[in-house]
Structure 1
Amino acid sequence: MKKWIMIGAILVVVIGGCVWFFMKDNAEPVVAKSVPAKVEKGDLKVKISGSGSVAATNSKDLISSVTGEVDEVLVEKNELVEKGDELITFSDGSDPITAPFDGTVTKLDVEEGDRVSSSEVVAHVTDYKKLKTTVSVDEMDVPSVKKGQTVEIKASAFEDKTFTGEVTSVAKEGTYENGVSSFDVTIKIDKPGDLKIGMSTEVSIVTNSVKDVLYVPIEAVQKDGEEKYVNIQQSGSAEGATSTKATVETGISNDRYIEITSGLEEGQFVSLPITISNENSTGSGFGGRNGGQDGEIRMQGGSGMPSGGGMPNGGGMPSGGGGQ
């Protein structure tokens, strides 16, 4: 019995080795290739994204400062008021309650002759014309957010419209949850239009921007020690194209593009390094979409610039300069 077990084990090893040997010889190796990308010129933005909801910039409970009888209620619910308007007066001659800002009386809890106590909420005023949104920003990104920065705002209710805004405040204290701290950033909406309180928003805070500059996909820039370089293709075709190494200097970057301050000219083509594997892929790989290959195409890692480029997340898109 032991003899037959030993013979069986040897056969398994021999057959397995033969299969591996023939598969190794027949398998096509991973091939390093490249695809061209054009050097574009235009505007480049670095953005941080976040989500929030629309709220009123000014919304306030009106509180009685005295204990006494209401002499007269001078407004009605849903009435528009201006800052300083008298809203409620008292029989004892105490200072009346006035509107703290322009807005709408959204709540009115007293009538003439009612007795109120000090610190009792008697009304509420909301300004629907001045709106804001507040988003949470990761602790790694918040140092790049400053008061006065421009913000692009999208609302789910208005998919085809982009609103603009401005950062008005950055929280000095964060909220810690699941090992990460985040900070509230408040944004004034410039022209709210038909936006309503409670609508959801997606914002992009522009933390840096440059105009009329050269840029390339961030994967095109490689590093050799302290030197940054790209491979310039002599034509726009990846097949049979020759390339030359060119040292470059870079500026700002987002998660897709990087500014080139020297070393390239508009209209040149640079190589984006990729690897092509002939193994079957069950996903809709980049290779399958471009040329009907069964293989999977991956950007090479390691030698390229990191996708973040040391810049904030959020991935702003270039505007006006193509490359889209």
Structure 2
Amino acid sequence: MMKKNRMFLIIIAGAVVVAGGLIFGVTIIIKKINTKPVYYTVTKENYENVIEISGTVEAAQEQTLQALSDGTVMAVYVKEGDVVKKGDVILQLDDTTEKYNLAKQDYTIATASITGSARELSLLRTERLALVQKVADRQVVATFNGVIAKLDVAVGDSLEAKDSVGNLVNVDYLVAEVEIPETDVSKLKVGQKVEFTFSAYKDKTVYGEVEGWPAIGEVTSRGATVVKAKIKITEYPEEILPNYSFTGKIKISEPIEYLIVEMPAIGFDNKKPYVVKKGTSNKVYVQMKPYGNGTVKIFSEEIKENDLLKQVSKPKISGTAKKMQSPGMMGMGGTRMPGMSGMPRK
């Protein structure tokens, strides 16, 4: 019996020694894990101060070619794609009657200048001005230098006043009107750069500038107050045509680059923030500003993007995490979760 008890005690003592060794080993491993340095990578983020815009571009000038009076087309002097100058005649309507009436008026004026009174002569000359205008109205004339974008008329066609036969456009530059929210109008300046992206000109950017905006706002159908700013595109590729849609942004200021890192990489020495780069033990003093989500912006000429910074402070535990660590919220450590006491017995 004594031998059995002695053997039992030896076994228990051995188990205690083994258990103690295991606990000691695990403790050493945990300490090594906990003392292994943690590093955070410095990242770079760009901040753009811009106003987002969208819309369609238009020709710098556009003239609808339309008859000013009824008549038959006697001549068409241009075709689609032709370049014309201001004052060029696009088409001519029959003007026989108008020219006859003008010639007759000239004869009457000549006669009145010999036998008529000064008052009668003045009246006849005023009537002549109206007849000259009627002759001019038998032509469709270009009002600016441009290109015939569309023309659908032929000799012999009968037109009525205000009938449209085509379009003349000036595409020396393009323009666009874009809606600017009232909260952003104070940021606008004439000459600000604008970047355009067109679906017809993918992966490439077209540049323009702010030309101006009115001194009064408008209320949209959505109930928002906006100001319609005018944007000008002086240089653009031939792939871009009037009425093409775009998205873009007005650049309020040049982009700013920030270096971002997690807060545990920041230590404090007499309230002065510092970081420690991987491979060194030297403190690099920095300036910092909160950035959100547990990160900060850091400012230092010695810190660059992709630098590895050592953890020098403990991560902050959120309120939710603290709650989860409290005894009342632990469902796996032998303490029951509220409401988990099992089904009631009958």
Q: TM-score, normalised by structure 2?
A: 0.49
Q: Match of 1:216, as an amino acid?
A: Y
| 2:258 matches 1:216 | yes
Contact persistence 1:46–1:209 (CA under 8 A)? yes
Match of 1:53 among 44, 53, 56: 56
| 2:208 matches 1:165 | yes
Q: Distance in 2 between matches of 1:161 and 1:70?
A: 46
Contact persistence 1:233–1:241 (CA under 8 A)? no
Q: Counterparts of 1:240-279 in structure 2 under 5 Å?
A: 265-268=300-303
Tell me which residue corresponds to 1:315: none
Q: Match of 2:59, as an amino acid?
A: A
Q: Shift of residue 61 of structure 1? A: 0.7
Q: Distance in 1 between matches of 2:66 and 2:186?
A: 38
Cα distance change on mapping 1:167 and 1:246 into 2, 3 Å:
closer
Q: Match of 1:72, as an amino acid?
A: A
What is the SS of the residue equivalent to 2:186? helix
Cα distance change on mapping 1:198 and 1:97 into 2, 3 Å:
closer
Q: Counterparts of 1:93-104 in structure 2 under 5 Å?
A: 94-95=135-136, 96-104=139-147
Tell me which residue corresponds to 1:312: none
Q: Shift of residue 186 of structure 1? A: 2.7
Q: Match of 2:164, as an amino acid?
A: V
Cα distance change on mapping 1:53 and 1:233 into 2, 3 Å:
farther
Q: Match of 1:235, as an amino acid?
A: V
Tell me which residue corresponds to 2:274: 233
Q: Distance in 2 between matches of 1:170 and 1:71?
A: 44
> Deviation digits for residues 172-195 of structure 1, max 9, x if unmatched?
332334443233333222322121
Corresponding pairs, count: 220
Q: Shift of residue 140 of structure 1? A: 1.0
| 2:235 matches 1:195 | no
| 2:194 matches 1:151 | yes
Match of 2:181 among 124, 134, 138: 138
**Higher Rg:** 2
Contact persistence 1:231–1:243 (CA under 8 A)? no
Q: Counterparts of 1:16-27 in structure 2 under 5 Å?
A: none
Q: Shift of residue 89 of structure 1? A: 2.4
What is the SS of the residue equivalent to 1:160? coil
More strand by share: 1
Q: Distance in 2 between matches of 1:104 and 1:144?
A: 37
Cα distance change on mapping 1:199 and 1:112 into 2, 3 Å:
closer
RMSD: 4.6
Cα distance change on mapping 1:118 and 1:45 into 2, 3 Å:
same
| 2:161 matches 1:126 | no
Q: Distance in 2 between matches of 1:231 and 1:63?
A: 76
Q: Match of 1:185, as an amino acid?
A: A
Q: Shift of residue 143 of structure 1? A: 2.1
Contact persistence 1:136–1:184 (CA under 8 A)? yes
| 2:76 matches 1:76 | no
Cα distance change on mapping 1:135 and 1:218 into 2, 3 Å:
farther
Unaligned runs of 5+ in 2: 1-37, 100-134, 263-270, 290-296, 322-346
Q: Shift of residue 164 of structure 1? A: 0.8
Q: Match of 1:191, as an amino acid?
A: E
Q: Shift of residue 246 of structure 1? A: 5.1
More helix by share: 2
Q: Distance in 1 between matches of 2:152 and 2:202?
A: 39
Q: Shift of residue 57 of structure 1? A: 2.4
Q: Distance in 1 between matches of 2:148 and 2:62?
A: 10
What is the SS of the residue equivalent to 1:83? coil
What is the SS of the residue equivalent to 2:203? strand
> Deviation digits for residues 252-290 of structure 1, max 9, x if unmatched?
xxxxxxx99xxx65334799x98666989xxxxxxxxxx
Q: TM-score, normalised by structure 1?
A: 0.52
Identity %: 25
Contact persistence 1:39–1:267 (CA under 8 A)? no
Cα distance change on mapping 1:85 and 1:267 into 2, 3 Å:
farther
Q: Shift of residue 113 of structure 1? A: 4.2
Contact persistence 2:273–2:288 (CA under 8 A)? no
Tell me which residue corresponds to 2:219: 175
Contact persistence 2:151–2:167 (CA under 8 A)? yes
What is the SS of the residue equivalent to 1:84? coil
